[in-house]
Amino acid sequence: MTNTQTSFVEQTGIEGLVVINPIVWGDERGYFYESYNQQLFEKHGLYYNFVQDNQAFSTYGVLRGLHYQIDPMSQAKLVRVVQGEVLDVVVDLRSLSPTFGKVYSLILSEKNHKQLLVPRGFAHGYVVLSPTAMFVYKCDNLYSKQYEGGILYNDPQLNIDWLLPESDLIISPKDQQQALFDPSNSPF
C-alpha cells in the first residue's frame, strides 16, 4: 500500500481553522483512511468532543449556507466530502479575532480526502461543483433551530467567489433571505 500523506494538519492563517490531510493508504484495490481518530487529533492539539454526525446529498449547483449557531449552541465542525466535489466556504465571525470578517474557501472532494476543521464562531456553507456530492460532518454540539443564524451567500461586503455562474446556483428560499454581514453586530 502507498501512503499519500503530506502534512496531517495544514494551517490556514486563521486561528483554529485548519485543513486536515488524513493519512491515506491506497493500492490497486482502492484506499483506506481514518476520517477521525481522537488520539491523533489530540496529538496535534485538536481537542473536540464530537456529539453529532450529519450527512447531506446534493446535486450540482446546490448552495447551502452560510449558516452558524450562536451560544450556547454554537458548533465546531469537521467537514469532508465522501462523494463528489464541493467548494467549502467559511467566514470568521469572532469579533475579537484578527481575521474577523475574513473568508476562507477550499475544494473538498472524494479524491483529495481533505477535511476542514471549523471552530465555533464561523459561518459555514458550500456549493456542489460535481454532478452530485455527499457531504458529511461531525459537530461538537447538537443542532438547535432556536439558536441558528445565517449570512446571505452573495453578501457584497464578503464578495465570495462560489466558482459557479449565478444562474447555476440552487438556493433554498431560507438561504436567499439571510441577513447581510454586519461587522458591528457579531454574534460571537
How many beta carbons lie within 10 A of that of residue 172, not counting itself? 11
Q: Which of 68, 104, 137, 153 is catalytic?
A: 137
Backbone angles phi, psi at 100, to 5 degrees: -55, 130
Q: Residue 72: helix, strand or coil by DSSP?
A: coil
Q: Of 165, 164, 174, nearest to 85 (Cα)? A: 164
Instruction: Give the active site residue among 67, 68, 124, 153.
Output: 67
6, 21 in Cβ contact below 8 A? yes
Tell me which amino acid residue 121 is.
G
As separate numbers, helices (DSSP H) first and strands (DSSP E) second, the chain gives: 2, 15
Residue 85 grid cell: 466535489
Note if 67 is an active site residue: yes
Give me the active site residues, please: 67, 137
